[in-house]
Amino acid sequence: MPRFSTSYHPRLRYSYSVAGQVYQGDRISAGTAYMCGSQAEVQHFVARNYPVGRTVTAFYDPNDPSNSLLKPGVFDPVSIIMAGVLVVGAGYTAHRSHASWRAAKYKRLNSSR
């Protein structure tokens, strides 16, 4: 029987202004979830990193200032895993191609004797 568990994700809201226009944001980072864990872990993470009233820097899209986040860069666990799978797959394919080439070269060398 599968075992299910509950994971929690931090939720917060921040406001920022661009050219006198005030915006609201709620994203910590790009991707699906910046951090998840037990309720206590998430509460500790938010209290430690984003206590109420703390001034933070919001990064926004200059073409769409309503699109913002607090941690710039790519943090999408699925994308990171997929990139790793692609790198490993490319390495395996290169290895197999090289091994096939060496086997064919060895076969040609032995058949010419």
Specify the number of domains making up the chain: 2
Interval 28-45 mean pLDDT: 78
For residue 109, the Cα-to-chain-centroid distance in whole angstroms is 49
| Count of positions (residues) in the chain | 113
Q: What one-character DSSP code corresponds to residue 85? A: H
**Are 97 and 111 in the same domain?**
yes
Element (H, E) at 24: strand 21-25
**Are 53 and 71 in the same domain?**
yes
Which range marks the domain in which residue 48 is found? 1-75
Looking at the chain, the whole-number percentage of residues with pLDDT higher than 70 is 71
Average pLDDT, the chain: 79
Confidence of residue 85 (pLDDT cuts 50, 70, 90): confident
**Are 53 and 86 in the same domain?**
no
CA dist 82 and 90 (Å) reads 12
**Are 108 and 58 in the same domain?**
no
Closest CA to 5 of 45, 38, 54, 47: 38
Alpha helices in 34-76 (DSSP H): 39-49
Interval 80-85 mean pLDDT: 68
**Are 22 and 56 in the same domain?**
yes
